[in-house]
Amino acid sequence: MTAFQYRDGDLHAEDVSLSALTETIGTPFYCYASGAIEGAYTAMAAALSGLPAEICYALKANGNLAVVRTLAKLGAGADVVSEGEMRIALAAGVPAGKIVFAGVGKTAEEMAAGLNEGIQQFNVESLPEMETLSRVAVSLGRRAPIALRVNPDVDARTHAKISTGQAENKFGIDLDQIQDAVKLAMDLPGLSLEGLAVHIGSQLTELTPFRAAFEKLTALYRDLHGQGIPLRRLDFGGGLGIGYDGAAAPDLAAYAAIVRDCTAGLPAELVFEPGRFLVGDAGVLISRVLYVKQGTARRFVIIDAAMNDLIRPAMYDATHGFLPLRAPAPGTAEEAVDIVGPICESSDTFTRQRNLPPVAAGDLLAISSSGAYGAVMSSTYNGRRLVPEVLVRGGDRALVRARPSYAAMLAEMTLPDWLEQDQGARGAA
């Protein structure tokens, strides 16, 4: 969170005062710092220097067009899991030849779209998917470049809802099915088997699971290569976590050392698909305190951001930091509070019994490390408008997604003819 610092007691995103932004944007809103995005990408590229590595940003972390464009200008490819994400990546300037299409449920229409655009590869996750992709490719007179996503049965030691590499998960092809998958890939006329892929989960802060997965993947690659299978690419997926609320982040140099150990002597191009690592610490969610409510045993700070704006605490029991936009005076005593949103759900709680400097109605708070899986997972639950997004770079700022009007929200819905008819006339009939 180094992009967000106090200056004269006022929290800034790079050179932009967040308090000043609220005067024109209103609350709640997301703010992303370009420098933090660029710094994370540069750090990862430097750690992997000397390797035949390509970094494909995982759009599922944050699909804002301006964020993707920021990374595309640095040379990033894209990891997408839908045609919509692919369209965003292309619109942001990512070359089709640097796009990897992942996901367990690609439709035939999405496959055709990827083939027509000429993407780099499809990461296939089941034998039925391979058969469908081959049929689509043959119908278009093409061969689909694929990598088999392997399920290595490795415990990622992360939250159960974002663990993807164990045998009971829906993702990937089990190791004992890989030989059948390879044979099918070689037999199907519409496929070109080019690599192997793995992704064991998200928000990993321990590196041991990476080593376990990479060792299994590279051993399989060596075995298949020795059988004469013309593989050329290894996709190590993403999963690198960040240090939420001051927790320790994974050691990037140590991660790169594991990659070097596992791939030593291998004739393979390497693909990495970081998402959260590149954008998580680059964003904050700015919210205003509506009320401070004293209960019998607890004190509640009710803010205007809600679980529909940032669902991670409700869905994953995730922990974020909270910073007042005006720095408290040195030595200010803190008090334990529950920070909650206005939605009619008990799960609309951001944190419980968090020590916070005293706040009052009208005060502003920044929810830190909100650049990943924040706005991209937001919804209009309770009839709430989607949160606007702002990108800053130095002293410049730009509204990169506007808050929709209520008229625009209503315009997305239509009434059937029978409800458009005059209700009085229907009653008389």
What are the Cα distances from residue 361, in Å, to 78, 121, 265, 285, 292?
Answer: 42, 52, 61, 18, 7
Q: Is-catalytic flag, 262? A: no
Catalytic residue among 31, 56, 262, 344: 344
Under 8 Å between Cβ of 369 and 34: no
Quickly list DSSP for 248-263: PPP-HHHHHHHHHHHH
Strands 173-174 and 191-197: unpaired
Strand partners of residue 149 = 197
Location of structure tokens 């596992």: 262
> Using CA atoms, how far apart are residues 394 and 24, in angstroms rounded to an integer?
18
- Please classify residue 209 by burial: count the beta carbons closer than 10 Å to its beta carbon, then call 0-12 exposed, 13-18 middle and 19+ buried: buried
313: three-class secondary structure by DSSP:
helix
Q: What is the DSSP string of 36-69?
A: HHHHHHHHHHHHTTTS-EEEEEEGGG---HHHHH
Residue with tokens 């490795």: 154
> Could you tell me which residues come within 8 angstroms of residue 357 by beta carbon, excluding any fewer than 6 positions away?
324, 328, 332, 333, 334, 335
Q: Of 151, 235, 249, 137, which is closest to residue 200 (Cα–Cα)?
A: 151
Catalytic residues: 344
